[in-house]
Structure 1
Amino acid sequence: MFNRGKFALRSLTLTYLGLLLVIPVLVITQDGLRAGVSGLLRQVTLPLAWHALMLTLWTAAVMVVINTIMGTLTAYVLVRYDFPGKAVLNALVDLPLAIPTLVTGVMLVVLYGPQQALGAWLDQTLGWRIIFAPPGIILALLFITFPFVVRTVQPVLLDLDRATEDAAATLGAGAWTIFRRVTLPPLLAPLTSGALLSFARAIGEFGAIVIVAGNIPFYSQTAAVYVLGEVESENRLGASAMSVVMLIIALALIGLVELLQRQRRTSSS
């Protein structure tokens, strides 16, 4: 029997998603490919564009390694320990999702800028230039993407049965052995999902990066900032070509996340 209410609701949802997501993606893809695949590759492999893309990928990869470790430890502490201020700390984890990324960039410049006490000391004493350099990009990405790993691991930790861990402890297993062999395996799938989401988010980050990186070609110019430069230079093909590559990477990562989540749902059912 035809249900007009369900049909209308489904049509409205699909139309909205099409207008909001599908059509813009198709348009930018068509624009980036208007000179063909060879034209897209030619634009992306220009020395400046290629350096910007590689900088984006390796800084995002460094961020993922650090945030995967620290995000897992943070989720573990929030779930397994009680301490004063735990509720405040738990709320602060979501702060990067709530504030504009431009504010993140300004905060880091105020803290680590070359004219600030800490930034000047790091530069002059240790030779570590943070702002207007790749380390500033990594710091900004660490701040922005921190909640992704924590919030994907935390619910799984809450649902884990502690009986297996208690049994392992009774048999003489140490804390590290219990974590590595009992606690960690169920966390690998959500941990990987959180890491991939962090990487996908980092690929397209612009607001904080444009503040902390300084947009120095062949040094601190990321792919997203490169796109802005090509738009301002009226090279729409170059901007669209880089945008298509970033879209492909992001969609591939999101597809992997969906596959991992589907496998986890299947194994748990």
Structure 2
Amino acid sequence: MAVSSKRRVLPGFRLSLGFAWFYLGLIVLIPLSGLFLRTFTLTWAQFWETVTAPRALAAYQLTFGASFAAAAVNVVFGLLVAWVLVRYRFPGRDLVEALVDLPFALPTAVAGLTLTTLFSANGWYGQYLEALGLKVAYTSVGVAVALTFIGLPFVVRTVQPVLEDIDADVEEAAATLGATPWQTFTRVLFPSILPALLSGFTLAFARALGEYGSVVFISGNMPLRTEIVPLLIITKLEQYDYAGATAIAVVMLVASFVLLLAVNLLHRWTHRRLEARPGH
């Protein structure tokens, strides 16, 4: 006798799904809906004038540009750190593991103060960099440095488990077949870790977009130059311009959602291509 309905692996699937939607609605959808509703107090002309003001445009450019640059840098060096931690055993490895996770536990204000002290004109790093004509503190470069600091663990901890699952024999087999180290990495290893790299990039990018504490000290907070969007929103709230603050927040929300959705779709497409490869 044929079974007409599919068996669910998870008992109570509909009930579980209902609770999941209820929780997401309560924690995510309702607060975000309130954000959108607040902007309805503005006319379309007022909304457009607020979100396209020169100060707001400069803040968007700095926030998204520095976040993207920081996430891209973390993809490269995060992969390198994860590779060292997975493939080598050396004295002090546990210390390196702890240092990778330090930005998770460190209060962002402490991170901002530390970075500002290091990269200021008389700081340990800043005094030598400024002698070379490079200024970091109170510039857009300082913003990118702070965002790189807080985003590194997201890439390392996303890529590390994938590298651990790749058998070292795969590299030996490629070498036996005559592949160079570069060919082994680009054709054998990189396609396997690419989805994890995209996930790490997405997490680091998303984390950087909303960062405030570690950036507010090192940026200098100069309008049209080093002012990030979260600070602009806080400034408008302090001026009791609640509608203006929510308008800019809505722009950030929509832009962030679109970008993250695009990256996630790219991640899914890459993962499907990887599964379609022979041997997977």
Q: Do the two structures share a fold, i.e. TM-score over 0.5?
A: yes
Q: 2:186 aligns with which of 160, 180, 198?
A: 180
User: Which residue in the other structure is 1:80 paired with?
Assistant: 87
Contact 1:68-1:195 at 8 Å conserved across structures? yes
State the TM-score, normalizing by the size of structure 1. 0.88
2:142 counterpart of 1:136: yes
After TM superposition, the structure 1 = structure 2 runs for residues 232-247 of structure 1, keeping only pairs within 5 Å, are: 232-247=238-253
User: Which residue in the other structure is 1:44 paired with?
Assistant: 51
C-alpha distance in 2 between matches for 1:148 and 1:257? 15
Percentage of matched positions with identical amino acids? 39
Segment drifting more, 34-43 vs 229-238: 34-43
Q: 2:258 aligns with which of 231, 239, 252?
A: 252
Contact 2:66-2:144 at 8 Å conserved across structures? yes
Offset of 1:267 from its aligned partner?
A: 6.4
C-alpha distance in 1 between matches for 2:241 and 2:168? 58
C-alpha distance in 1 between matches for 2:46 and 2:196? 38
Offset of 1:25 from its aligned partner?
A: 0.9
State the TM-score, normalizing by the size of structure 2. 0.85
Contact 1:200-1:249 at 8 Å conserved across structures? no
Q: 1:201 aligns with which of 172, 190, 207?
A: 207
Superposed CA offset, 1:226-262 (max 9, x none)? 1111111222222111111111233234434554665
Superposed CA offset, 1:199-235 (max 9, x none)? 1111111111111111101110011111111111222
Change (3 A) 1:32 1:114: farther
Q: 2:127 aligns with which of 120, 142, 152?
A: 120
Superposed CA offset, 1:131-173 (max 9, x none)? 1111111111011010111111111111113333211101222
Report the number of matched residues. Answer: 264
Change (3 A) 1:33 1:120: farther
Change (3 A) 1:175 1:43: same
Offset of 1:110 from its aligned partner?
A: 1.7
Q: SS of the counterpart of 1:94? A: helix
Specify every segment of 5 or more residues in structure 2 that has no aligned partner in the other structure, as ranges: 1-11
Superposed CA offset, 1:44-73 (max 9, x none)? 110011001101111112112211100111
User: Which residue in the other structure is 2:164 paired with?
Assistant: 158
Contact 1:145-1:202 at 8 Å conserved across structures? yes
C-alpha distance in 2 between matches for 1:170 and 1:13? 50
C-alpha distance in 1 between matches for 2:23 and 2:219? 36
Offset of 1:95 from its aligned partner?
A: 1.1
C-alpha distance in 1 between matches for 2:156 and 2:262? 19
Change (3 A) 1:166 1:121: closer
Superposed CA offset, 1:87-135 (max 9, x none)? 2212221111111111110110121122435323322x11212111111
User: Which residue in the other structure is 1:70 paired with?
Assistant: 77
Segment drifting more, 31-40 vs 233-242: 31-40
C-alpha distance in 2 between matches for 1:236 and 1:213? 24
C-alpha distance in 1 between matches for 2:17 and 2:72? 40
- Code of the residue aligned with 1:199 in structure 2: it is F
C-alpha distance in 1 between matches for 2:192 and 2:140? 34
User: Which residue in the other structure is 1:100 paired with?
Assistant: 107
C-alpha distance in 2 between matches for 1:7 and 1:63? 41
Change (3 A) 1:57 1:258: closer
2:192 counterpart of 1:213: no
2:3 counterpart of 1:24: no
Specify every segment of 5 or more residues in structure 1 that has no aligned partner in the other structure, as ranges: none
